[in-house]
Amino acid sequence: MNVLVGFFNVPGYGPDTAETPLTGEPRLEHALLLKLMREKHPTVSAESIVRSGSAIETRNDESRVVEYGEGAVLKNLFNTEDIDESAISIGSVTFDNEPCEIVLRYHRGKNVMGITLKERATRVAIRFSDQIAAMRLVSELPGIVAEVLGGNAKGCALSLKQRR
């Protein structure tokens, strides 16, 4: 299913997003996005909420949660027998006031990981160095991401779940 994601700047809250299913009526979709933002931030005047962009994204019924077993290391998140480099989406973050998708990259030949942020509005990629050892525990990933992204990252939400 395709959705329209609206990116907004909300005074006192910073950047925020809303989404609505695509209907083929762009004016109605954008009006609904603004209505959703007003409902989400009722104390902010409607005139001060500014849309900074929008993008069409695909949603599917599958869970976007990355599951891992107890004691799993980062390279266990990938099925990469014959692929030198692969990537998975592991969450979202606001980086320098831009909503981004967090992508974890695995370089099998080097046995290292790297983090890339993909801006949701423009699809521009911000690539960080590949210096994360692939043998580190998955449970360490929240701290690793926070360390790599530094103080410019806000609202980091990882889609990881340990299997029981």
Domain ranges of the chain: 2-58, 66-162
- Give per-residue pLDDT as tens, 92-137: 998 988 889 999 999 888 889 999 999 988 888 999 987 899 999 9
- Summarised one tens digit per residue, pLDDT across range 44-70 is 998 999 998 888 887 765 547 888 889
Q: Which fold has domain 2-58?
A: Ubiquitin-like (UB roll) (3.10.20)
Q: What is the pTM of this model?
A: 0.73
Residue 115 contacts residue 87 (beta carbons within 8 Å): no
Given the structure tokens 């909420």, which residue do they identify?
49
* Separation between Cα atoms, residue 56 and residue 58, nearest integer Å: 7
Q: Each residue of 86-100: pLDDT tens digit?
A: 888 999 998 988 889
E-only strand ranges, 81-146: 85-95, 98-107, 112-119, 125-127, 132-133
